Structure 1
Amino acid sequence: MKVSKIVAVGLVSASFIGATKTTFAAVTSQAESKVGVSFTTGSGPVTPVDPTDPTNPLEPIGPTDPTDPPTGETGSLTLDYVSSVQFGSKEISGSEMTYSSKSKKPFIQVSDRRGTGDGWKVTAKASKFKSGSSDTLPGAVLTFKNGTAVSPGDGAAPTPAQTITLNTDGSSAATVVTAAAGTGLGTWVTRWLGPNPDVNDGAENNNVTLTIPGGSATVGNHEAVVTWTLLDAPGV
């Protein structure tokens, strides 16, 4: 009733001052219609996205882009991409040394298309270093720091571990990123970017480091393998 009184006064005032007449249409009837949609869980492989701009696909054409192939995994919860890390050539030192990565854009990508919001987790472990068939670099430690999670969507983000320490013993696993219930839906990149990641300026990436104990290094090429494991529940 109060709203009706205010409108009535406005109409009377307009008639006195000769203002333009305003016509109010009366509602004579209303009806409702429905809009429907149905979703099923995702199944095909997910294209990796650019870790610096996840709204774009990964196109490894720049000098700082990772060149590893996608995993090609299919299903509703997938680990789509993991990138390698390189530290280049170093002189042997008699003391413990920590080296920063030459790789400026290392990242992993997970897609959760289950539509349940149950959450997930990624862990990692590093094998022993090898040179040929021999185990090498005993005591070496690989570290990832200051990870961030980004997505081409706008859902609730998973939580990256801020320091991931991987002893190169082939057995010790560490948590990389955790999506609690209700988070991590869609496609998510966990990344450890160096400074100016798209610029090939020779700067090293201090967010990914390799520590070699004194007296551990030997001449030659050495390679370890990081195994990334996606688990279908954050509490596992």
Structure 2
Amino acid sequence: MSKSYKVVALSAVAALFCSVMTAPAVMADPNEAESDVTIEFIVPDDTDVPTVVDPTDPSITFPVTPGDRDPGDPDDPVTGFSGPLTLDFVSSLDFGTVAISAQSQEYESLTLRPFVQVTDRRGTREGWALTVSLSEFRDEEGETSLSGAVLNLENASLVTPGVGGDNTPEGLAGSIALDSNGTSANVTVAGEGTGAGTWLTRWLAPVGETPNPNVTLTVPGGAATVGDHEATLTWILTNAPE
């Protein structure tokens, strides 16, 4: 009697264990909740000067001190303009020392990486326009010189350390010819909805080439006189395309 009872009890325990092991799992309904990601942008204050970036690799900073730059780079200081829309850097152009010619000659620039930089941090995408003009050349005595000289900027390209795509200015002048009468020419025009962030317009020499065939000065025969000659490029940034 006692032995039979034990067998029944063990059988009951085994049946209970099997029922527990084979019971279907209960599936919980998925939980879903929402949270926010927020950020507020403000216009930079009037003391905030943008960083000038390298014209070949805009992911790095262009040296502020001219003496720290590579040969062939422009030796200009940064402009120091601050605020929401700024012209950050403009390049001077050096054509070196050349012999006087009786014929018209085209001279290539020794400045291998000339560029200008504009930064738009207004956050409105209103657009902007950059123009340039060339003054008369003057000699060492301050007299007008190099009559008929023409400065040519060819094969311009745009680069940004930020987002391009639809934000890229479409009004890039691939070829600019400047005479010394002060007439301005468009350099880069960012229409409405474009030009946000930092943009560099550049006239780089092809890799390994010296001097720079994309920046030339044409001087008519008989126009040159002995000594240094200098003209001024005036770059103007306006806050809406013209």
TM-score (norm 1): 0.84
In the TM superposition, 1:64-213 aligns within 5 A as: 64-132=72-140, 133-155=142-164, 156-159=167-170, 160-169=172-181, 171-196=182-207, 203-213=210-220
Cα pair distance change 1:24/1:165, threshold 3 Å: farther
* Contact persistence 2:72–2:110 (CA under 8 A): no
SS of structure 1 residue aligned to 2:168: coil
Q: Does 1:214 align with 2:225?
A: no
Which residue in the other structure is 1:31 paired with? 33
- What displacement does 1:25 show? 4.7
**Whole-Å Cα distance in 2 between the matches of residues 135 and 22 of structure 1?**
95
Cα pair distance change 1:25/1:211, threshold 3 Å: farther
* Contact persistence 1:47–1:70 (CA under 8 A): no
* Contact persistence 1:158–1:177 (CA under 8 A): yes
**Whole-Å Cα distance in 2 between the matches of residues 100 and 89 of structure 1?**
11
**Whole-Å Cα distance in 2 between the matches of residues 50 and 107 of structure 1?**
9
- Structure 1: 5+ residue stretches without partners: 1-20
Matched residue type, 2:35: S
Once superposed, what is the RMSD of the aligned Cα atoms? 1.7
**Whole-Å Cα distance in 2 between the matches of residues 141 and 22 of structure 1?**
85
Cα pair distance change 1:113/1:97, threshold 3 Å: same
- What displacement does 1:31 show? 2.5
Q: Deviations over 1:21-41 (max 9, x none)?
A: 9996522x4322211111011
SS of structure 2 residue aligned to 1:74: coil
SS of structure 2 residue aligned to 1:216: coil
Cα pair distance change 1:161/1:25, threshold 3 Å: farther
**Whole-Å Cα distance in 2 between the matches of residues 204 and 64 of structure 1?**
9
Matched residue type, 1:57: T
* Contact persistence 1:122–1:230 (CA under 8 A): yes
- What displacement does 1:165 show? 1.1
Which residue in the other structure is 1:49 paired with? 53
* Contact persistence 1:66–1:106 (CA under 8 A): yes
Pair member with larger Rg: 2
Match of 1:232 among 232, 236, 239: 239
Cα pair distance change 1:92/1:117, threshold 3 Å: same
Q: Deviations over 1:139-182 (max 9, x none)?
A: 1110101111101112322232011111112x200000111111
**Whole-Å Cα distance in 1 between the matches of residues 187 and 25 of structure 2?**
65
Cα pair distance change 1:221/1:22, threshold 3 Å: farther
TM-score (norm 2): 0.82
Identity of aligned residues (%): 46
- What displacement does 1:64 show? 2.4
